[in-house]
Structure 1
């Protein structure tokens, strides 16, 4: 770490106070953005989607599990992949704690991937996760929601990711889509976010952002490993073995 400026307590307080003004501006802007997001138009989901789940085949409507809101995380795990995306795994490590609260606030959280259910279940067990995860294998769901792609569409400029043409070759990419189901059972796609749009849901990043070294990365998530791959941390491995991964 480069040598850093060290000042008196009085000067430190002055700098912190000045920075707080900007942080409050950011907070107010974030609140404004949230309010504007809630005013965005919705689109009705007309197509019938069916998913493979541990409890059998289920429709998109059934994934709501009795609630009116559904948060669907598009996880990067293709049919031929041997294991899940490292970055998606990093993000999903934050889901189970949040899900304890979401379930009691009219939100069902589900992950979805194109891999066959058996592969999903095996990876979920390896990671020790509890949140629901379903397979869209064999359906158009991932392609319709712009998180899975084929080479032909990418070359033709037809592949869309983050609301713009995809300009690099990739068969799977991450995202989160929000749905609402009304009393009649009609389903609406209310919002989708992709790429870095979901960073605020990654609590580890939010903590790193106030640390002296910040995120300390040369490229996005270049330091991240799946949590069972931190071989130099026996404390973490023991913790995982004795709790959620046991």
Structure 2
């Protein structure tokens, strides 16, 4: 069905666009101020030594900086017993291959971390054709300490800590970003995390859909329409409980 919309003159469109531009500029300035406050958050020193399985062998969190002072970690939902990665995480990760090079040349390393074993990560990464670094936290506390993996007891209690509150997470893995800084002494600090819809800012497809006439055109969540990029001919698979 075609969308119903008011039809106006060029003069009406120009006047409305100028008014909208003023609001867009105010929104952008508000975003700049939020970014300043984000950078001003207190840092927390990482006291625990976390280790990860990587294609190059075992590495610590400090090693993942790869010679840079800043590290962005994406918590990708792929659990030990999962057969493939989360559709929503895959949607976001499709944006990253061309971006990582630019981050690395601006003193920022980017690493995706999942709770699944490395062999499962590597297989899914090959299928998707991704080239960004992706490591496994299997066997360690990293995912649990940064509140994106949950024990059976937490799930049963319906009272796990996610997105800064106690809640029923409904699934053993969740998504998010965590950011770290390493100083000249080699000490690592946790500077920022975001979860849930906080991850939307990293999905460039949404920025384009938001200026299109039909917008995002979603019924309940992104997996109303999003598929793995190699499965757009498949039948709908239902919503992802973490992608609302």
1:58 alignment partner, SS class: strand
Match of 1:230 among 203, 212, 232: 232
Give the structure 2 partner of residue 244 of structure 1.
none
Distance 1:84 1:157, change over 3 A: closer
Cα shift readout 1:211-239 (whole Å, capped 9, x = no counterpart): 0000010122121001000128xxxxxxx
- Measure the CA separation in 1 of the matches of 2:42 and 2:156: 31
Distance 1:213 1:55 in 2: 45
* 8 Å CA contact retained: 2:75, 2:112: yes
Using the TM superposition, give the Cα deviation of residue 20 of structure 1 relative to its aligned residue in structure 2, in angstroms.
Answer: 1.1
User: Structure 2: which 5+ residue stretches go unaligned?
Assistant: 235-244
- What do residues 68-91 of structure 1 show as CA deviations (whole Å, max 9, x unaligned)? 001000000000000000000000
Q: Which one is further off, 40-49 or 14-23?
A: 14-23
Residue matched to 2:54: 53
Equivalent in the alignment of 1:8: 9
The residue aligned with 1:200 is: 201
Find the counterpart in structure 2 of residue 111 from structure 1: 112
Rounded to whole Å, the distance in 2 between the matches of 1:30 and 1:198 is 15
Give me the TM-score of the superposition, normalised by structure 1.
0.92
Please give the secondary structure, in 1, of the residue aligned with 2:192. Answer: strand
Matches within 5 A, 1:67-216: 67-156=68-157, 158-216=159-217
Q: Once superposed, what is the RMSD of the aligned Cα atoms?
A: 1.2
Partner of 2:242: none
Between the two proteins, the alignment pairs up a number of residues equal to 232
After TM superposition, the score normalised by the length of structure 2 is: 0.92
- Mapped partners of 2:29, 2:81: distance in 1: 44
SS at match of 1:212: coil
CA distance in structure 2 between the aligned counterparts of 1:198 and 1:71, rounded to whole angstroms: 12
Aligned partners of 1:55, 1:168: CA distance in 2, in Å?
33
- 1:46 alignment partner, SS class: coil
Q: Which 4+ residue blocks in structure 1 deviate beyond 3 angstroms?
A: 154-158
- CA distance in structure 2 between the aligned counterparts of 1:74 and 1:194, rounded to whole angstroms: 9
Provide the rounded CA distance (Å) in 2 between the counterparts of 1:123 and 1:175: 19
Q: Contact 1:179/1:188 (CA < 8 Å) preserved in 2?
A: yes
Structure 1: gaps spanning 5 or more residues: 233-246
